[in-house]
A and B are shown apart, each in its own frame.
Chain A
Amino acid sequence: MKILVPIKRVIDYAIKIRVDPTKGPHAVQTANVKMSMNPFCEIAVEEAIRLKEAHKNKGDEIVAVSIGPKQCSETIRTALAMGADRGIHIETKGDVRGDYVDLQPWGIAKLLKGVVEKEENVDLVLCGKQSIDSDCGQTGPLLAGFLNAPQATFAAKVTKEDDGSFIVDRETDAGTETIKLLPSDAPAVITCDLRLNTPRYPTMPNIMKAKKKPVQTISLEDMVSELGLDLDEVLKPKNQVVEVYEPPPRKEGEFVESVDELLSKLKEKGVVG
């Protein structure tokens, strides 16, 4: 089984985002800010490893793919340290932003489609349901569309059947839904949600072993021409970021003395009819 796991380098989830409104679409400060693997991507890597382990490691291969600047090599190394076997780093120039400003899901999905086809025999693409910077949640579904692939989003549980199909429990607003992705020529595309698993910590020995695992580094331009794509189509945003601003500061609440007063206040504010 060959599993492709696209991973994204984003601002660390614990960091407080700083916005400089004078910088237009580039308002979110990324310089000297701690970056890490997108938490949902971590979950995807973990799930890939668990599937491989459940399959008793019958020559399964997990390939981590990342599109981004030089420092993405660290993100790939983390995936390798967790247990991925191989990495592909499509390197962008330092000023190309991945947080929706420059690279957007359409372009990413086009690239990933190319990678899947170039890799051959990919059985499954596991990705995070969304990235925590752009929060689009589109790359997985777009990729499935480009590949003509069976897809399941917001996976809370994934099982592989012997016939090559995948059983996925999906978390929806109405509850949990179980669907079966039938085997097809294209790999199944599954996006991972929070409750799917708890990612493992890379151990020290595995961090060192990760250094020996092969990583192919190729510039975005070279990859685009290799895949026969149009660089403009990949890089030019389909959507334009108009404005970036911080949410308004939370206002102080009011204390009320009684339920009646609460109701009248709510009516006043137009919250209740």
Chain B
Amino acid sequence: MHCLSRLLKPCWYTKCRLTSSAATRQYSTRSFSHASSTEMLLENHNEPRLPVTMFTEDEQMARSAARQWANDILKPVVREMDNDSKTHTPIIEDLFKNGFMGMEIPEEYDGSGMNFTSAILVVEELSRVDPSVSIMVDIHNTLTNNAVRFWGSDALKAKWLPRLATDCVSSFALSETGSGTDAFAMKTIATPSSDGSYYTLNGEKLWISSSREAGVMLVFANVDPSLKHRGITAFMVDASSEGVSVGKPEKKLGLRASSTCPVVFDNVKVDAMDILGEVGLGYKYCINILNEGRIGIAAQQIGIAKGCFDVVMPYLLDRKQFGTKLADFQGMEHQYAQLATEIHAAEVMTYNAARMKENGLPFVKEASMVKLFASQVAEKTASISIEWLGGVGFTQDLLAEKFFRDCKVGSIYEGTSNIQLQTIAKRIKEEYE
């Protein structure tokens, strides 16, 4: 019965096409701080434009602060956290204290009150040192926090935003054993009470990042499977609720310090006020928020690529063979020049996509492109960095091998590369039809 409904259901991304133009319009108007942003953009079209690689003072300060903290406080414990497959609690506390976890949450909710680009830059700088820590920050900021800000009722925002900004790690609980790319095939059910004042969640989510540390989870569940995807609803579930159990973390190739666990919901009661937005619109929120999440992942991947260069270039400039610095051999010059060029392309694309989003422009195609490309560049850079380092690159003496292991998931989570390609192809076809 349920297999049949799966066959009848088209792939979730094509639903994007039906809903995304509506969603984008809705999204665009929602993300305008005031209605006339597009007019402002057009009015200013004669003014000199700055390159996307130039940032405001706020953004630069955010980036410097993240870089300094990552190098001084995070770097010394990276290897240990990877070996232990655990992010240290003081590190998480520091993330909150420094305001990295509430980048876009407004000041009135104890957040940092900064913009999307600042969040992206922080993710990039943290990734340059430890992508396991940056993924916690990225998911928290670009998925959970932003979803609550965009679609949460005033009561929901008042309840959760201060906690999200100051002490509560969040998880994005979407995937299940039987539903990854086919996200709408989820089986977690949310049964409404007779008076509708609360819902009872039953189901099991899989692959949930930061779930071991999470104080709250944004859980997607179906209130009425007969409505198919239009029953999917997003719930803010307190992780300490009765019936929520986080299973053992997966043993992973990379991002080891980031906990990735199954989460079981066994008759978990969730108050109706903890529903994000409207019942049955969860699928829309999910698609929408994952778009900007992609820019976040791209930032992480760029950070990884730059992190590899941070390890490799000093080594190449120091080590000599045949009396010559490795960096001075023409073969090496050609290789690292090529990769640096690709990293630059990836970063410019990513910063541009962030600006498009900030300006309320449609950015679905660009978000897919940057995630796709940045993850490809990161993988290529991480792999070849080990070769450039020679034998020692293959050991745990240097962080290159860790970046190599960490980058691989970039082409998988938050939408596989194949899905990104399909999304991009669809947009291209639309442009020419």
Residues of A that sit less than 8 Å from B by CB = 74, 77-78, 81, 201-209, 211
Contact = CB atoms under 8 A, between A and B. Distances in A.
A81 B60 CA distance: 13
B69 A201 contact: yes
Contacts of B97: 203
A129 to B, nearest CB: 22
Interface of chain B, main secondary structure: helix
Contacts of B107: 205, 208-209
Nearest to A198: B72
Contacts of A209: 107
Give the 8 A-B residue pairs with the shortest CB-CB distance, closest first: A204-B99, A204-B112, A203-B99, A208-B113, A207-B61, A205-B99, A205-B112, A203-B98
15 contacts: A74-B57, A74-B60, A74-B61, A77-B61, A204-B62, A204-B103, A205-B107, A205-B111, A206-B99, A207-B61, A207-B99, A207-B112, A208-B107, A208-B113, A208-B114
A207 B57 CA distance: 10
Interface string B274-310: 0000000000000000000000000000000000000
A208 B98 contact: no
A206 B62 CA distance: 11
B interface residue count range (under 10 / 10 to 19 / 20 to 34 / 35 or more): 20 to 34
A201 B112 contact: no
Q: Indicate the member of A81, A201, A206, A211 with the most B CB atoms within 10 Å.
A: A201
B68 interface: yes
B65 interface: yes
Interface of B: 57-58, 60-62, 65, 68-69, 97-100, 102-103, 107, 110-114, 118, 122
Q: Indicate the member of B69, B107, B113, B118 with the most A CB atoms within 10 Å.
A: B113
Contacts of A203: 65, 97-99, 112
Nearest to A73: B57
B332 to A, nearest CB: 21
B65 A208 contact: no
Contacts of A202: 61, 65
A11 B410 CA distance: 37
Q: Indicate the member of B61, B68, B113 with the most A CB atoms within 10 Å.
A: B61
A81 B69 contact: no
A204 B118 CA distance: 10
B111 A77 contact: no
B71 to A, nearest CB: 9
A208 B110 CA distance: 12
Contacts of A205: 99, 102, 107, 110-113
B65 A204 contact: yes
B142 to A, nearest CB: 15
Nearest to B166: A205
B425 to A, nearest CB: 38
A58 B111 CA distance: 27
Nearest to B71: A14
Contacts of B57: 74, 77
Interface of chain A, main secondary structure: helix
B133 to A, nearest CB: 16
A262 to B, nearest CB: 28
B122 to A, nearest CB: 8
Contacts of B69: 201
Contacts of A211: 58
Contact of A207 (B65, B102, B110, B111): B65
B57 to A, nearest CB: 6
Contacts of B62: 204, 207
A205 B62 CA distance: 10
A129 B107 CA distance: 37
A207 B58 contact: yes
Q: Indicate the member of B58, B68, B102, B111 with the most A CB atoms within 10 Å.
A: B58
B66 to A, nearest CB: 9
Contacts of A208: 58, 107, 112-114
A36 B61 CA distance: 11
A212 B405 CA distance: 44
A18 B361 CA distance: 43
A201 B65 contact: yes
A204 B125 CA distance: 14
Contacts of B102: 204-205
A78 to B, nearest CB: 7
A235 B111 CA distance: 44
A10 to B, nearest CB: 15
Contacts of A201: 65, 68-69, 98
Contacts of B113: 205, 208
Contacts of B114: 204, 207-208
A207 B58 CA distance: 7
A43 B293 CA distance: 38
B312 to A, nearest CB: 18
A74 B118 CA distance: 17
Contacts of B111: 205
Contacts of B103: 204
Q: Indicate the member of B103, B114, B122 with the most A CB atoms within 10 Å.
A: B114
Nearest to A78: B61
A214 to B, nearest CB: 17
A209 B112 CA distance: 9
B61 A81 contact: yes
A205 B98 CA distance: 8
Given A204-B65, A207-B61, A208-B114, 11 more contacts: A74-B57, A74-B60, A77-B57, A81-B61, A201-B69, A202-B65, A203-B112, A204-B118, A205-B99, A205-B112, A205-B113
A204 B100 contact: yes
Contacts of A78: 61
B69 to A, nearest CB: 6
Contacts of A77: 57, 61
A183 to B, nearest CB: 37
A77 B65 CA distance: 13
Contacts of A206: 99
A208 B62 CA distance: 10
Nearest to A14: B71
A203 B101 CA distance: 11
A205 B97 CA distance: 9
A186 to B, nearest CB: 35
A189 to B, nearest CB: 29
A81 B97 CA distance: 14
